[in-house]
Amino acid sequence: MAAVLFDFSGTLFRIESTETWLRAVLTEAELPLAEPELLRTAHALDRVGALPGGTHPVEQIPDELAHVWEIRDKSAELHRAAYTGVARQVPLPDPALYDALYDRHMSPVAWAPYADAAMVLRTLRERGIGVGVVSNIGWDLRPVFREHGLDSCVDTYVLSYEHGIQKPDPRLFATACAALGVEPPDALMVGDDRRADGGAAALGCRVHFVDHLPVAERPDGLRPVLDLVG
């Protein structure tokens, strides 16, 4: 392998819990909720899939949002509309909180790298293997990498909203391979989503999947990548 392409959320980084996310926004807005109500609200937000990078919706996406939800990663506007839209199914004490919640999830402090992410990325760098991040996303994740000291380990970022296409569209993976100067068969795609990240196989990339788990539950899920690249 001459290059490794990584997904972002659930692969290299994990978003904070829905409870932490909601608590931080309520604290910032100085809008206290009684603890039982806060926990019920966090659970409800979790069920509708309101936290980008969090759990998938358990509740059915409302009909009026279904189309936007399917293409949410194609632009910043669609991404915000989709996630604030599903969040509005859950009553909050102030309507401004829906946008505040969305804004919070884009903050670097809301994200934590998996325990072995830095080691794997730095080892790849030392071996001279190109690294790209290919993500379905509606905002610029580069500040997250900078905040955690990992930006120097990434050679290129290919973000769906910057190209108007989303995984599993093979054009995103092709763009990353071209930026790294490698042919697809010489690249490994690492991700947590079988459908989206598996789209790289259509180009001839090798694909390796990791489990989208809380950081504490996946201490060494990325280490096998080093063996796969040889």
**Mean pLDDT per 10-residue run, the chain (230 residues)?**
97 98 98 96 98 93 96 98 98 97 98 98 98 98 98 98 98 98 98 97 98 96 95
Q: Which residues are CB-neighbours of 69 under 8 A, at least 6 positions away?
A: 61, 82, 85, 86
Between helices 96-105 and 18-29, what is the axis angle to 10°? 120
Q: Name the nearest CA neighbour of 150 among 12, 54, 10, 1.
A: 12
Query: For position 133, what pLDDT does the model report?
Result: 98
User: Residue 31: what pLDDT?
Assistant: 95
Torsion sign over Cα 145, 110, 96, 82: positive
Nearest to 110 by CA among 121, 102, 118: 102
Q: pTM (2 decimals)?
A: 0.95
Residue intervals in the chain for CATH 3.40.50.1000: 3-14+111-229
pLDDT at 181: 98
Alpha carbon distance 175, 111 (integer Å): 26
Contact 24, 104 (CB under 8 A): yes
- The pLDDT score that the predictor gives to residue 37 is 97
Calculate the alpha carbon distances from 91 to 85, 98, 227 in Å. 12, 10, 48
Pairing of strands 111-113, 13-15: antiparallel
Out of 3.40.50.2000, 1.20.1090.10, 3.40.50.1000, 3.40.50.300, the CATH code matching 3-14+111-229 is 3.40.50.1000
Residue 134's DSSP bridge partners are 158
State the pLDDT at residue 227. Answer: 96
pLDDT score recorded for residue 230: 80
* 137-155 per-position pLDDT tens digit: 999 999 999 999 999 999 9
Residues 160-196 pLDDT 10s: 999 999 999 999 999 999 999 999 999 999 999 999 9
pLDDT for 115: 97
pLDDT of 205 reads: 98
How distant, in Å, are the alpha carbons of 44, 57, 184, 194 from that of 85?
Answer: 14, 13, 37, 26
